[in-house]
Structure 1
Amino acid sequence: MIARLPPIPAWSAALIATLVGFGGTIALVVQAMRHLGASTDQTASAVTALCLGIAVGGAALSFRLRIPVVLAWSTPGAALLAAAPAGLSWPVAVGAFLSAAAMMVAAGAIPAFARAAERIPTGIAAAMLAGVLLPFCLQLFRLAAVDPLLVGLLLAVFIVARRRLPLYAMLLALAAGMALTLLRGDISALPPGDTLGSLSAIVPAFDVRVILSLGLPLFLVTLVSQNLPGLAVLRSAGYEPPARPLVLGSGLAWLVTAPFGAHGVNLAAITAAICTNAEAHPDRDKRWTVGVIYAGFYLLLALIAPMAVRLFLALPTNVIAALTGLALIPALLGAVETMLGDETTREPAILTFLAAGSGLTLFGLGSAFWGLAVGFVALAILRR
């Protein structure tokens, strides 16, 4: 008997989720890698590794668990990296990626570690994330003094699209920004580098201060703002996702790809909602095939990842900064809502938000660490 192919809606849902996940935030990922000192080839390797981790990990989990497991890279994590103190070397950054990935694997494999992670107040973690995201969103409006046409166009397209076509808002804004750049002739020559997917392994360097100020916040923000919402999306679709295997599986995909520059492989939330609803596949028991199709599209993206990286590196820095700020507005909105949702942690969360958004660097530790430290201390004092 010939196996029937999944219906057309399954393919279209997977394709839309891929375009939204990749196209909406690739500019931020490229900016974060370059900020951490990655070369063009190393940035291409990082994006290739991310796509491979999403593809292989998602396909394996979907096939094994028979549920549509949709993985993604950590968008909040990329914002955290782009806000890290300047001057880090790429091997030290890769060491922080590996450390955060190891923490995620431990959260999935060790029950005691998982229980400790679950006890972290979501309001504090969300406040740290909101503080990290705020400077990027503010920079969007600061750029209006330099290029009012660019910012006005992007905002207009984004606002109208969020009302009419919310799923495609960021893609339409990206297309508008690219079109304006081409019309102006502002795009530079593509930097030299590979065209097809390539991997470049880095010997990591482990720095305790970087692990505390970058690796630990990266783990927390990925767990709280990516993996936990991803589990909630699967539950809302009528599934009973086993939390530990999913966290462990995505963590292992991250751990394997981290030496090549992957900053975070985790459960998706928004794109997962596209692939897990009834419109993606009418048969809930066969909807896991949408996760496999989605993984196949990311495998194709892995083949052309270096070309995409080179294209974004050819864009003016103002365009990249504006697109980054715009892409993070929905994430900032969600973080602020979570930060203020629990009245018992609201004051410590505000202190965390202010400290994390201040850009403070003290004793070699960045503002994300100090935001968490201030929030935990304030919470402990209030509870006593």
Structure 2
Amino acid sequence: MLSRLPPLASWTSAFIAALVGFGGTVALIVRAMQAMGADAGQVGSAVTALCLGIAVAGAVLSVWMRMPVVLAWSTPGAALLAASTSAVAWPVAVGAFLAAAAMMCVLALVPALGRLAQRIPASVASAMLAGVLLPFCLQLFRTLESDALLVCVLLAVFVIARVRVPLYALLLVLLAGFAVLALRGDVAGLGAGPLIGGMELAAPVFDWRSVISVGMPLFLVTLVSQNLPGLVVLRSAGYAPKPRPLLLGTGLASLLLAPFGAHGINLAAITAAICTGSDAHPDAAGRWVVGLIYAGFYLALALFSAPLVLFFLAMPHAAIAALTGVALIAPLTGAVEAMLVEKSERDAAILTFAATASGVSLMGIGSAFWGLLAGFAALAAKAVFSRRN
């Protein structure tokens, strides 16, 4: 299939993208799965399933569509799960994951829904995401009370790296955190465990409250914050991707792997930019091999995910909170900027943001749903009364 080996730049670009994508947010994935009631084995299963889905679906789509299709797990979705104030059992969480994946598949199969999704106000969706992310960034600074040294080191590394080498900022923060914890001997209880990643099947339980408060916002935030920007990245690189196969492919991968804990597999945006430009491969027609190499690195991460997950599970809770908070500063900045772009929608965006960040839970339904409801209601009211005037 390959007449000659890809250039070295293709390998290094794919390696950096995989390393940044995995290392920068794996702490958030661990925290999110724990918030959904997963035990250590189920957290490991979730990470393995996500890496496997990214690898297999990304490789298939890259070869089939002849373009570098770079996939990732849903970082905003993981933040949404970790911020959930509703205590749910793991099978109920799996049911919500399945519901979100099914919504993505239906969206891909029904053209009218796809057109409707493109009309979702970016301000409201971004405001919901900002409301989800804000508590994590606030918790970062609250962690100063219990571990000022670690937080100060992480923030110093982050600020300097964002100026000098922004692409590697999160990776350097992660390494700095590891160094502090190792020097202090804080990674305790890291016992023997499997060296190869495994997956545990969970029978899903569908609860309408969890589908509304977890599944629906998970679908929406993945669509608006991951899949749509991912399509833009591919178009910016000179490709003309058809949304349907990409949305359906990632939706099916999520659907098949949700019973093993995969909360969402989607198009990458930031890391995709590393693999889709001419720096990764000079020939646009042959650049799809970069997506294949990237998939190979994620397959390796899936195989050896178990010891990596055990390491994060052995970290102090304050360290996980600090690493998660730093990792979400940049996404929070982007979400706040996007929610305020359209001046006529700022009131609705602020209502969405405040309701989501409040963490309010009514009738067992979480704040992300109520934030969206508040924003859409405000936009609807404004449209109605504007027409009357």
Q: State whether TM-score is above 0.5.
A: yes
Aligned to 2:286: 286
1:77/1:264 contact within 8 Å kept:
yes
The residue number in structure 1 matching 2:272 is 272
Counterparts of residues 249-328 of structure 1 (less than 5 Å): 249-328=249-328
**Contact conserved, 2:30 with 2:43, CA < 8 A, in 1?**
yes
Tell whether the 8 Å contact from 2:86 to 2:364 is kept in structure 1 after alignment: no
Deviations, residues 177-206 of structure 1 (Å, cap 9, x unaligned):
111011111111225643211111110000
The residue type equivalent to 2:270 in the other structure is I
Q: Find the aligned partners of 1:195 and 1:369 in 2 and give their Cα distance.
A: 39
Alignment partner, residue 387 of structure 2? none
Q: Structure 1 residues 144-153 or 224-233, which shifts more?
A: 144-153
Give 3-state SS (helix, strand or coil) of 2:72's partner.
strand
Residue aligned with 1:350, SS: helix
User: Are the aligned partners of 1:174 and 1:323 in contact in 2 as well (CA < 8 Å)?
Assistant: yes
In structure 2, give the amino acid aligned to 1:381. Answer: A
> Which residue of structure 2 lines up, in the alignment, with residue 15 of structure 1?
15
Structure 1 letter corresponding to 2:366? G
Whole-angstrom distance in 2 between the partners of 1:298 and 1:198 = 15
Instruction: Determine the C-alpha separation between the residues in 1 that align with 2:2 and 2:57.
Output: 27
Q: Secondary structure at the match of 2:266?
A: strand
CA drift at 1:144 = 1.3
Q: 1:64 and 1:166 mapped to 2: Cα distance?
A: 33
In structure 2, give the amino acid aligned to 1:212. I
**Does the 8 Å contact 2:33/2:43 carry over to 1?**
yes
CA contact (8 A) 1:98 1:259 kept: yes
Partners in 2 of 1:197 and 1:112 — Cα distance? 40
SS at match of 1:246: helix
User: Which residue pairs with 1:231 in the alignment?
Assistant: 231
Aligned partner of 1:82 in structure 2 is 82
Please tell me the residue identity of whatever aligns with 2:154. Answer: L
Summarize deviations over 1:248-307 as a string: whole Å, max 9, x none. 111111111111100110000000000001110011110000000000000000001111
Partner of 1:173: 173
1:55 aligned to 2:55?
Answer: yes
- Relative to structure 1, is the Cα distance of residues 264 and 191 closer, same or farther in structure 2, using a 3 angstrom cutoff? farther
- Change in CA separation of 1:263 and 1:191 when aligned onto 2, cut-off 3 Å: farther
> In the alignment, is the contact (CA less than 8 A) between 1:109 and 1:244 conserved in 2?
yes
Alpha-carbon contact 2:30-2:309 (below 8 Å) kept: yes
Q: Aligned letter for 2:76? A: P
What secondary structure is seen at the aligned counterpart in 2 of 1:341? coil
Between stretches 243-252 and 193-202, larger displacement belongs to 193-202
Contact (CA 8 Å) 2:20, 2:171: kept in 1 or not? yes
Q: Tell me which residue corresponds to 1:245.
A: 245
Structure 2 counterparts to residues 332-343 of structure 1, below 5 A: 332-343=332-343
* Secondary structure at the counterpart of residue 205 of structure 1: coil
Is the aligned partner of 1:91 residue 2:91? yes
- Displacement of 1:244: 1.3
Note the C-alpha offset of 1:145.
Answer: 2.1
Q: 1:355, 1:367 within 8 Å by CA — same for their partners in 2?
A: yes
Q: Name segments (4+ residues, structure 1) moved above 3 Å.
A: none
Query: 1:119, 1:193 → 2: CA distance?
Result: 48
What is the letter of the counterpart of residue 269 of structure 1?
A
The sequence identity of aligned pairs, in percent, is 63
* C-alpha separation in 2, matches of 1:282 and 1:56: 25
Call closer, same or farther: CA 1:59–1:2 in 2, change over 3 Å: closer
CA distance 1:15–1:381, shift in 2 (3 Å): same
Distance 1:333 1:276, change over 3 A: same
Unaligned regions of 5+ residues in structure 2, if any?
385-389
For residues 334 and 113 of structure 1, the distance between their equivalents in structure 2, rounded to whole angstroms, comes to: 26
Q: TM-score, normalised by structure 1?
A: 0.98
Question: How many angstroms does 1:107 deviate by?
Answer: 1.1
Matched to 2:179, the amino acid is: A
1:167 Cα deviation from its structure 2 partner: 0.7
User: 2:358 and 2:2 mapped to 1: Cα distance?
Assistant: 61
User: Is the 8 Å Cα contact of residues 106 and 114 (structure 1) preserved in structure 2?
Assistant: no
CA distance in 1, matches of 2:104, 2:338: 22
**Contact map agreement 1:105 1:251 (CA 8 A) in 2:** yes
Aligned to 1:357: 357
Aligned length: 384
| Aligned counterparts of 2:195 and 2:95: Cα–Cα separation in 1 | 27
2:113 corresponds to 1:125? no
Counting only pairs closer than 5 Å after superposition, residues 30-49 of structure 1 correspond to structure 2 as 30-49=30-49
Aligned to 1:155: 155
Partner Cα distance (2:73, 2:191) in 1 = 24
Give yes or no for contact 1:40–1:193 (8 Å, CA) kept in 2.
no
- In 1, Cα distance between the equivalents of 2:86 and 2:207? 15
Aligned partner of residue 49 in structure 2, secondary structure: helix
- Which amino acid in the other structure matches residue 228 of structure 1? L
> Which runs of 5 or more residues in structure 1 are unaligned?
none
- 239-248 or 59-68: which moved more? 239-248
User: For residues 212 and 191 of structure 1, what CA distance do their matches in structure 2 show?
Assistant: 39
User: Is contact 1:41-1:194 (8 Å) kept?
Assistant: no
TM-score by length of 2: 0.97
Q: Which deviates more, 56-65 or 239-248?
A: 239-248
Q: Do 1:36 and 1:82's aligned partners in 2 also have CA atoms closer than 8 Å? A: yes
- Look up the match of 1:202: 202
* Distance apart, 1:124 and its partner CA: 0.5
Aligned-pair distance for 1:86? 4.0
Instruction: Kindly report which structure 2 residues correspond to 1:99-138, keeping only aligned pairs within 5 A, or say none.
Output: 99-138=99-138
